Amino acid sequence: MKKEILIATHNAHKKEEIQQILGENFTVTSLTDYDIHDEIVEDGDTFHANALIKAQYCFNKTGKPSLGDDSGLVVESLDGRPGIYSARYAGNHDFAKNMAKVLEEMKDQKNRKAYFVTVMCLVDETGTNYFEGRVYGNLTKEVRGEKGFGYDPIFIPDNYEITFAEMKAEDKNKISHRKKAIEQFLEFIK
C-alpha cells in the first residue's frame, strides 16, 4: 500500500516537488487536501522549532505522517539575520524590500558569507525526525537576475559566478538547500 505523507503547506508547488522526488510509492497530500485553513502560528525561535510546530499541528489534526519545513537566509556578519525572519524581514513576503534591507545592512561589510538553510521535520506515530540542507555562498552588492524568489538575486553559491536568480531553475534545484534536505528525508523514509 502507498504511504501517505502530509505536507504542512498550501503551496501546491512544494507538494508537487516533494511528490516527484518521493515517487509513486508515496501519496503526498497538503493542508488544502484536508481543507485545513487554520493559521499555524510559527512563533518558534529556531528553524527546527518552526518546522516542528507545523508538522506537529498537522499530525495532531489528522494522525497522518506529517512533514513541516522552514527555510531562510543566514548572513554571517549580520549575526545570522534575517534567519527565521527571512520572509518578513522588512515587509511580509515583499522580496524587494527584504533584499534592500539586507544590502543596506551589508553596505560596508567585507565578509559577505551567507547560507540558505531548510529544516524539515517529520512527525509520525514513531516520533520526531529532522532533516537539514544548506547551500553556502556570498552576497552580492546589488540585485542581479530575475528568476527564482526571495533572496535569490543577491546570493551567489560557492563555485559559481552568477546569482541563484541568474541560474536556470533546474540548476538551482540541483544544489539548493531544499534539495539537500529533501534528499535526507528520502534516505530516511524509503
Least distance CB 1 / ligand ITT (angstroms): 28
Least distance CB 73 / ligand ITT (angstroms): 6
Binding residue per annotation — 13? yes
CB-nearer residue toward ligand ITT: 77 or 173: 173
Query: What is the bridge-based pairing of β-strands 155-157 and 127-139?
Result: antiparallel
DSSP character string of 90-117: SSTT-HHHHHHHHHHHTTT-S--EEEEE
> What span, in angstroms and rounded, lies between the C-alpha atoms of 190 and 184?
10
CB-nearer residue toward ligand ITT: 25 or 85: 85
Least distance CB 7 / ligand ITT (angstroms): 9
CB-nearer residue toward ligand ITT: 131 or 151: 151
Least distance CB 129 / ligand ITT (angstroms): 19
Q: Shortest Cβ contact with ligand ITT: which residue?
A: 150
Q: What are phi and psi of 54, to 5 degrees?
A: -65, -45
Is 158 labeled as catalytic in the residue annotation? no
Binding site for ligand ITT (CB under 6 A): 9, 11, 70-73, 86-87, 93, 116, 148-152, 164, 176
Binding residue per annotation — 164? no
User: Does residue 184 sit in helix, strand or coil?
Assistant: helix
> What span, in angstroms and rounded, lies between the C-alpha atoms of 87 and 167?
21
Distances (CA, A) of 99 to 8, 73, 76, 130: 26, 11, 16, 28
CB-nearer residue toward ligand ITT: 93 or 190: 93
In sequence order, the β-bridge partners of residue 136 are 115
Cell readout for 64 is: 497522518
> What span, in angstroms and rounded, lies between the C-alpha atoms of 106 and 104?
5
Select which of 69, 70, 94, 108 is catalytic: 70
Binding residue per annotation — 137? no
Binding residue per annotation — 14? yes
Binding residue per annotation — 71? yes
Please report, in range form, the residues annotated as the binding site for substrate: 9-14, 71, 149-152, 172, 177-178
Please report, in range form, the residues annotated as the binding site for Mg(2+): 70
Please identify every residue annotated as catalytic: 70
